[in-house]
Amino acid sequence: MNKTVMGLNIAYTELGEGDLVVLLHGWGSNRTLYQPVAQMLSAKYRVVALDFPGFGESEEPKEAWDVGNYTEFLLEFLKDYHAQKVVLMGHSFGGRVIFKLFEQENLPFTIDKIILVDSAGIKPKKTLMQNLRIYTYKLCKHTLGLAPIQKLFPDALETLRRKNGSADYNAASGVMRQTLVKVVNEDLSHNFKKIQSPTLLIWGELDDATPLSDAKRMEKEIKDAGLVVFDGCGHYSFLEQPQLFLRVIASFLGVNEIL
């Protein structure tokens, strides 16, 4: 299914009937990873899984977005549902968008429950060596960006970016690279204590993108939060232990059927 939101062509999937559950994917991912989850939850809920702008089959934003822009987009996307209450589930970047919602003074719906899966939202503190590498990279980037240098070495700047950039950064287009920089540099931990909704945290024990220490902090600061740790799993715990994941969220949301 497709519809236009904020002038962008957006792809989404919708299954089932009942109260609304919205599934928000992580950075570099798309709605298709949630297909087994959507199928299971559709036994009780109306389930919507969408591709954020710039991911999957959805159109890229025209300019670089920050987390606030994605939150604005989500609220605009959900207007057509006229929902009074919503269950939100977010993996990684999807969790960032959920946290950002709590900066809104008057949401058009009640957030009934939240499921955060290996969620982002805490900006990691950089070590001295990391700060030194960043400074060196910026200095080199400035030098290689000078017109005479670019003329002599036209591929040097892109080579530098690819050598120093993360896999997500290197895989992204120009506008999405700029978006990624904006997104990862925003800390959303100040919103944790604003959350009153029952919140389930599901985490991979070995997650090195959003470490387990982040989950423990969220569990401590979110009023009504509980943490389930998947042993031996990394950042995509819901893909590494799919049946366990389905059982855990089915219990949390009161769904009796697990496909």
Q: What angle do CA 109, 220, 47 make, to 5 degrees?
A: 35
pLDDT in tens, the chain (259 residues): 999 999 999 999 999 999 999 999 999 999 999 999 999 999 999 999 999 999 999 999 999 999 999 999 999 999 999 999 999 999 999 999 999 999 998 999 999 999 999 999 999 775 555 544 544 545 555 565 667 666 656 665 566 455 655 565 555 567 998 999 899 989 999 999 999 999 999 999 999 999 999 999 999 999 999 999 999 999 999 999 999 999 999 999 999 755 4
Q: CA angle, 88 as apex, 83 and 94 as ends, to 5°?
A: 130
Q: How far is residue 94's CA from residue 47's CA, in Å, rounded to a whole number?
A: 16
Report the candidate in 133, 129, 114, 7 with the shortest Cα–Cα distance to residue 58.
Answer: 7
DSSP 38: H
Tell me the pairing of strands 20-24 and 2-5: unpaired
Q: Residue 74, by phi and psi: left (phi above 0), alpha (psi -120 to 50) or beta?
A: alpha
d(CA 101, CA 113): 13
Cα 250 → chain centroid: 21
Tens-place pLDDT, residues 24-75: 999 999 999 999 999 999 999 999 999 999 999 999 999 999 999 999 999 9
Q: Which residue has the tokens 């024990």?
A: 205
- Looking at every residue in the chain, the average pLDDT score rounds to 88
